[in-house]
Amino acid sequence: MTVIVDYDQTGAQTLQAALGTEAVVLPNVDALRRHLDTHLGEDAVVVGAHVDLESALDLAGNMRLNRPSLGVVLVRRRVDTSVLADALRAGVREVVEERDLAGLNAAVARVRELARALRDQVPGNEPPEGTEGRGSLITVFSAKGGCGKTTLATNLAASLADNGRHEVCLVDLDLSFGDVAIALQIFPSHTIADAVTLGVKLDADAVDSLLTPHSPGLTTLVAPVEPGATGISAELVGRILDLLRERFEFVVVDTPPAFDDQVLAAFDRSDLIALIATLDIPALKNLKLTLETLALLNYPREKWAVLLNRADSKVGLALNEVEKTLKVPISAQIPSSRDVPASINRGVPIVLDDPKHPVSLAIKQFAQRSVIPVNQAESSIPADLRADRRGFLRRKAKTS
């Protein structure tokens, strides 16, 4: 059901008329909290324009932690960038202008649909107790091309597989210019684009049919071979990643250098976001902007890991200066070596080609210290807690 809270009776009645008589109207936030304590099946809360913003955001933040499947829809007289940013940080699902009653209806419908999906996914409409039986998802990202992102992703996946000790899936989410298939010299019969035609029939067996094996323990889901593949939505990507986590101990995702919808779907499911850069000013500038964006989107800082590739390059930048500028520690330093492009040309990750190479050892140490421990920890952003970040980014762009 839907609950409306508004200090103004006329405003509350207007919202109720728009949403239907089944919506429950409450006069203030305290009454709402008491109502929610005894009505655990509520799907959506609509906070009217006459409720002050601080109270509304405090409510949303509390519900995000204690009732994550319950969606808060914020109604404001005017929606601007500041309101959207504050709402995003608090975990509000939707923000609607007071006059946009049709938009309010659509927002509540989306929130209630999500609540129903979560109830189907999690018995009793309770948050997951952990991720036992579910694999860890690691997303490798850089906002600048040429930093060695695919090289890190392929070698990290191979290192985690450890010649069959673990089951690992490497996903190429660079849908336009993915290089995983080339870097590993595999010739797939299917790609992620083939999932589009499966539609609602997409299940674990269907996803399994799209995978291409590489080496013991390491399987891949590669990007489309043909350019311009369409229909690979963020929702489809999310469904694929969820299914892969049920089958594999680790899922490593290689990404394009962009905050697109598909990348955000991977971030939402990530136990660890591995951010890679090189010791040059453009790469570090983009890394700093990436960190600021992740903070704005409320991704937990403890799930970020910053890696420096070609970290021994003599370019006049010291490690402590980089850490001071970024305000985050460096989790791993990967040295430069001509052997890395040589191994790529042979289609064999250097961690397999030369396990004792300094580059291999640096990646293995990162896997042991930062990646494998998250396999035992609870996912930082379970499905119930994911905000509609894509919608917020689009709305923010319109108001900027």
Per-residue pLDDT for the chain (400 aa), expressed as one digit of tens each?
789 999 998 999 999 888 876 788 999 998 888 888 767 778 899 999 999 999 999 998 888 777 878 889 999 999 888 888 888 888 888 999 999 998 998 889 888 887 776 655 544 333 334 434 478 999 999 988 888 999 999 999 999 998 888 899 999 999 988 899 999 999 888 999 988 887 667 888 889 889 999 998 999 999 988 766 667 888 899 999 999 999 899 999 999 998 888 999 999 999 999 999 888 888 888 889 899 888 888 888 889 999 999 887 766 567 777 778 788 888 899 998 999 999 989 989 999 999 999 999 999 999 998 898 765 554 445 444 454 555 555 554 555 5
Query: Where residue 288 sits, what CATH number does that domain have?
Result: 3.40.50.300
Last residue of a domain, one of 86, 108, 127: 127
- Strands 218-221 and 212-215, how do they pair? antiparallel
Say if residues 304 and 271 touch (Cβ distance below 8 Å): no
Based on the domain organization, do 269 and 296 belong to the same domain? Answer: yes
Determine, yes or no, domain membership for 394: no
Determine, yes or no, domain membership for 389: no
**Structural domain total, the chain:** 2
Based on the domain organization, do 110 and 16 belong to the same domain? Answer: yes
pLDDT of 355 reads 94
Domain containing residue 109: 2-127
Say if residues 77 and 97 touch (Cβ distance below 8 Å): yes
Determine, yes or no, domain membership for 189: yes
Those residues with Cβ within 8 angstroms of residue 193's Cβ, 6 or more apart along the chain or in another chain = 175, 224, 226, 229, 231, 232
Determine, yes or no, domain membership for 393: no
Say if residues 141 and 289 touch (Cβ distance below 8 Å): no
pLDDT of 34 reads 84
Based on the domain organization, do 53 and 154 belong to the same domain? Answer: no
Based on the domain organization, do 58 and 148 belong to the same domain? Answer: no
Determine, yes or no, domain membership for 214: yes
Determine phi and psi for 94, rounding to 5 degrees: -140, 145
Based on the domain organization, do 46 and 151 belong to the same domain? Answer: no
d(CA 239, CA 170): 16
Query: Where residue 67 sits, what CATH number does that domain have?
Result: 3.40.50.2300
pLDDT of 50 reads 94
pLDDT of 220 reads 95
Say if residues 322 and 329 touch (Cβ distance below 8 Å): no
Say if residues 307 and 274 touch (Cβ distance below 8 Å): yes
Determine, yes or no, domain membership for 15: yes
Determine, yes or no, domain membership for 391: no
Based on the domain organization, do 197 and 67 belong to the same domain? Answer: no
Say if residues 168 and 204 touch (Cβ distance below 8 Å): no
Based on the domain organization, do 147 and 122 belong to the same domain? Answer: no
Last residue of a domain, one of 81, 108, 127: 127
Based on the domain organization, do 147 and 123 belong to the same domain? Answer: no
pLDDT of 394 reads 52
pLDDT of 359 reads 95
Based on the domain organization, do 229 and 182 belong to the same domain? Answer: yes
pLDDT of 200 reads 61
Last residue of a domain, one of 127, 154, 184: 127
Based on the domain organization, do 143 and 73 belong to the same domain? Answer: no
d(CA 195, CA 199): 7
Determine, yes or no, domain membership for 226: yes
Report the alpha-carbon angle 80-81-82, nearest 5: 95
H or E element, residue 117 = helix 101-121
H or E element, residue 272 = strand 272-278
Based on the domain organization, do 55 and 161 belong to the same domain? Answer: no
Based on the domain organization, do 49 and 173 belong to the same domain? Answer: no
